Structure 1
């Protein structure tokens, strides 16, 4: 297999895989998220272990070099980011420190400079905010951690934010969702370079999915729920088990011995959502899992999850995800 060999100072033309490794640079900063860096590094390590000569050479960079503190307090040793650095792939970490780093003109200039000499520029989690702040994502599609997506859309209106994607590729720019999605991103990069079989073996060694099904929405339904007192936890379990039922507010309120009006008021205060909206979120979550991981017909999925028919389910999918069920089913199989 042929691929581009990129050294630290110059780009070498197409060459045989027997020649030299691709340079992978991971860029960190104070208060970066440890797994944003360690996850992709571990993925790229797997082919290095199993192939001779190794297909990748990994280097951790920072502006000043030396020990850099992660948000956890753990420090990682880094090399100073050199002038005129050329990489095959740049991976920009995310983390709490992005809130300060995105206003650091020198740091953003360095990202732009290095990116101008990469085959691929990528980010993990809120690292996409740094690419956007550097102007690299203007007019492009991108994603970031689901919690930061509204901020990204507000601060960078020239970027099309795809909030439900695990990762997004637009040209040479790849952005990924929250934290562990950096592993999914790195696996996709390895697959582009070395093929599906190498990537499958890497995923097996890491004990992760080769291709994760579903988008970020699968993680946000219950994470958005306050559950201030925990009083409705058994009720939520009951709703999940009875999605095919009518589940009008009267039926749900009866399960907890409350009047429909009082239940709706208390539920909204406790959960942060109306009962009807919350039920739809759970139905969408369950339906999407069936759509992406099974071959069950859409009509049957709609019946099992309480939408009644596939057209009503399709309308709900387009409203929530921007795509109909069949498109998500095809994506889940790719």
Structure 2
């Protein structure tokens, strides 16, 4: 039995996919009215309209009654600590982060926040190129499950693999987490470039040099280079930087076009960019695209000026 904390689009999609494969799944939400509506309509009309809940999926607003088994934490990165602070003690059950980014206040990754808040619970992260709508519709998706405990990683891999989600496993947790964090920042950069009319060649350059920044940060934190070439690195970067379904990419588009962006939409890359800039400074790492994204978000630099700044950097070998 598996529980999913957070009835946003991604948490709901995971719950649908897992339960569609026959597993008993509980989807938890804090909002009593939302839970009542989902129980009645058998769908999450607010986040994934038209996606019917399988019979094996139950909904609940009582976190204390969740069944034994892994707990998937499908909450935004910047709300993960608050969620863990409010939720009851789940004991030795594995806690699997389903968010991407770096906590702005502490500079910690998802599993590091879990380890700090719940030191007795095994921590893992599920990450990789995926959109909630694709998962809920049953479209083929491949994800990475990163966990330092190889035995637990294999167990979770089996539990979380569904009819349409193929899960690969790794023990390189830092690599998987940095890949998922940095790709959101690069998606903002790519969206801004396209929104400003700088073209697909500029986007390709940003993706490639953004991948170099991803590797630079990950290797400095002890990650393995091969991990960044996988789903949680290159794969997620390719998807997020090229699709309008990406909230980070759409946020970048709004910067490039000068249009407003819905403040209610969670953009993980905005806070993560600032956190990564601080981490890079502490590690004496050069991450010029990340720095430019922070300036774009703050409004201290325009898109074309940012590109000019990047293009005028000293020449060097690739």
| TM value normalised by structure 1 | 0.40
Higher relative contact order, chain-length normalized (CA < 8 Å, sep 6+): 2
| TM value normalised by structure 2 | 0.42
Higher strand share: 1
Higher Cα Rg, which structure: 1
